[in-house]
Amino acid sequence: MVVDKSDYRQILESFQQQCKKALELPLGKRCQRQCANIVVCGMGGSAMAGDLLRLYLMDKPIRVAVARDYALPAYADEKTLVIAASYSGNTEEALEAFAEAKKRGAEVWAVCSGGMLAEAAKHCILIPKGHQPRASIGYLFFSMLGLLHNSGIVSIANTDLNEMLRILGDTTFFDEEGERLAKSIGKRMPIFYASSRFYPIVYRCKTQVNENAKRLAIAGEIPEMNHNELVAFESIERSRHIVVMLHDEQDYPAIRRRFSLCRAIVEERVDVELMNTRGTGLLARMFSALHLGDWLSYHLAIRDRTDPTPVAMIEQLKKRLRGEKQ
């Protein structure tokens, strides 16, 4: 019996091409005025693109916030660039934040595949329809990044893009390593850790395990977990949990030291697996780790004989919010 009925595997295999196509979507589009800060409004997979944007711009002077809510930050005003990201274009939280941003005089852009958001937006980047939001992370992220590049807010080097695309083209590696990690995890709950900078990547791993494998997972960051969560490992069970640590060679030396010491302590109680970023540029390191996490979650689903694509519980909640009968 076919498990992957919607061919989620094909989405993973074509992710490099998705990123290439996404780079073309914002061509000719640029912000109308200078901004002092950026707020990305969205939920789920759409908000994740905002998390990645914040990660990418962490060393830049411009502030980036992600609003996973109906409300905007209090500081959002006419000097703010607000990007409302909703794959469907009908996410109620993003629509409400979009309307509030217009009232405050912010420059507002929409990134969506259609829906009410596309109808209401004066400035919009349309992305292809037909996917789950989480499977369109390339379209969502590079639409935003391209808009900022065109507007002179950030400069993207072709060498960095080419390195990322080259690494993402190694489908065999990601498939095989993702399968190996899924086999190691087995039926246990994965606990993902990364540095604070790369926390959005392991949070993505967690949510992909949630949606693709329909399983619980945990995501945390170092050094914060060293000050609280580490104590919980006194009572953890090796048979029920496994730690997956995302290692980046360019993390701060103090963070790498903490990783090493923390791993030694944790391994006394649970098994530990490593995920490694690949490449030297930030885009390559971000998306190589993200893509590996996507493959990991896919193989967990297939091993459990679970179709990765449907999200029945989310659809059920949406129907109840609309007042539809079950």
Residues with catalytic roles: 211, 227, 318
Whole-number Å distance between alpha carbons of 158 and 168? 15
The span from the CA of 242 to the CA of 218, in Å, is: 10
3-state secondary structure of 35: coil
List, as own/partner pairs, every contact residues 229-236 make where C-beta atoms lie below 8 angstroms and the sequence separation is at least 24, other chains included. 230/262, 230/265, 230/266, 233/265, 233/266, 233/269, 233/270, 234/269, 236/269, 236/270
95 near 119, Cβ under 8 Å?
no
| Residue position matching structure tokens 């977990």 | 225
CB neighbours of residue 275 within 10 Å: 24
What's the DSSP call for residue 34? -
Q: How buried is residue 59: exposed, middle or buried, by Cβ count under 10 Å (0-12/13-18/19+)?
A: exposed
| The residue to which tokens 């060293």 are assigned | 226
The closest of 53, 139, 54, 122 to 88, measured between CA atoms, is: 139
Q: Are 203 and 51 in contact (CB under 8 A)?
A: yes
- Helices (DSSP H) in 105-251: which residue ranges? 115-120, 137-150, 158-168, 171-185, 199-212
CB atoms within 10 A of CB 136: 24
* Contacting residues for 75 by C-beta, under 8 A, at least 6 apart: 37
